[in-house]
Amino acid sequence: MGPDFGKGLPNVLKGIDPLLNGDLLKILDEMGHGDQLLLVDRNYPAFSAGRPVVRLGESGALRVLGALLSVFPLDAFVAHPLERMEVKDDPTLTTPVQDSALELARAAHPVALEYGVVPRHDFYRRAKDVYAVVQTLESEPYSCFILHKGVVFPEGMPEDGS
């Protein structure tokens, strides 16, 4: 096999979404219960938070969120394990991507789930405390989310910890 063997190929692990590259899988594996992951659109200043950034520039926010939720448990012990950036200073407004993201998360989460809403400037401040940032090619504004990592329970134990 030559030096270029495997370059440019998607990951070849069974059961792992090929969008989840080795760098991102390593970060997700290193994260512990309660750590936070930022999922942001293409306009978000991802590098300004000073946290590790994984760019998934070939995919939109919903595609990336679906891949993340296939391996990333949301925290069942906090009120809002999924938070979104507030739209135009109005916590009641949502975008189509935000609405679809909530439905994806609800399908993957073991207990009832509602968004936490974070005002835009608070969101930028909170970004400095996340474990890592995943930047997508999403073009819809306000497609920015904070995911709180939950617990991976032993097989057979309820995912809500009960």
Q: Taking Cα atoms as reference points, which of 83, 72, 75, 74 lies closest to residue 28?
A: 72
φ, ψ of residue 116 in degrees (nearest 5): -90, 140
How do 145-148 and 36-40 pair as beta strands? antiparallel
Specify whether 121 is catalytic.
Answer: no
Quick check: 160 pLDDT over 90?
Answer: no
The domain defined by 34-148 folds into RbsD-like fold (3.40.1650)
Please state the pTM of the whole predicted model: 0.88
Query: What is Dmax (Cα atoms) for the chain?
Result: 57
Domain boundaries, the chain: 34-148
Give the tens place of pLDDT for each residue, 15-73.
899 999 999 999 999 999 999 999 999 999 999 989 999 999 789 999 999 999 999 99
pLDDT at 39: 98
Which residue is it, tokens 């057979």?
A: 156
Q: Taking residues 135-141, report their average pLDDT.
A: 97
Quick check: 150 pLDDT over 70?
Answer: yes
Quick check: 158 pLDDT over 80?
Answer: no
Determine which one of 33, 80, 109, 121 is catalytic: 33
